[in-house]
Amino acid sequence: MKTKCEYFFKKPLLVLLFITIFIVWMLFPSTLFFGNWNKEFEVKDKHGQYTAMVYKKLPISPYAMFKYFIMDDDYFIVLYDNKNRRIWKSSPFTSISYGAFSASFGFPSSDDDSFIYPTNDGYEVIYINKL
């Protein structure tokens, strides 16, 4: 008498597909989906050239749940220009909790093209002209 498990493992393509989907789901980034429904707040520079929008991460995979609930990694940042085009998005591996936002943002200016944003480990810098 054959069991369901024996039948399942005789289908190597089905097993490979299941394993691939499981691995992708395990590592699915929590910063993939964002919009007005998970926007927390925004910060504009004084000249109106750039806007940093802070979004809440979504715990949609086991890794994202671990970072969200255990590591207190709740937010990510998206930088927009004055035409509302997305310039940059923070890495899903950068840890940012609400306490990090007690520090300020540093926006690019005419003589300096760096965007400085707070994280749990201090500040991170990206250079806009190098993107």
Q: What is the pLDDT of residues 37-46, one digit of tens each?
A: 999 999 999 9
The number of distinct structural domains making up the chain is 1
Residue 94 has pLDDT above 80, yes or no: yes
- The CA-atom distances, in angstroms, between 21 and each of 27, 61, 65, 67 are 10, 12, 18, 21
Q: Is residue 117 part of a domain?
A: yes
Q: Categorize the per-residue pLDDT at 32 as very low, low, confident or very high, splitting at 50, 70 and 90.
A: confident
pLDDT surpassing 70 at residue 88:
yes
Is residue 18 a part of any domain in this protein? no
What are 86's strand-pairing partners? 80
4 lies in some domain: no
Residue 17 lies in a domain: no
Give the pLDDT confidence score for residue 14 in this predicted structure.
80
Residue 59 lies in a domain: yes
pLDDT band with cut points at 50, 70 and 90 for residue 10: low
Domain that holds residue 48: 30-130
Q: Is the pLDDT of residue 1 over 70?
A: no
Q: Is residue 20 part of a domain?
A: no
Amino acid residing at 85: R
Among 9-18, 50-59, 93-102, whose mean pLDDT is lowest? 9-18
Q: What is the pLDDT of residue 125?
A: 92
pLDDT score of 111: 83
Nearest C-alpha neighbor of 23 from the set 58, 63, 57, 59:
63
Confidence of residue 92 (pLDDT cuts 50, 70, 90): confident
Would residue 121 count as lying in a domain? yes
Model pLDDT, residue 5:
65
CB-CB neighbours of 92 under 10 Å: 17
Pair of tokens at residue 38: 């998970």
How many Å from the N-terminal Cα to the C-terminal Cα in the chain?
61
**What single letter denotes the amino acid at residue 39?**
K
pLDDT level of residue 89 (50, 70, 90 thresholds): very high
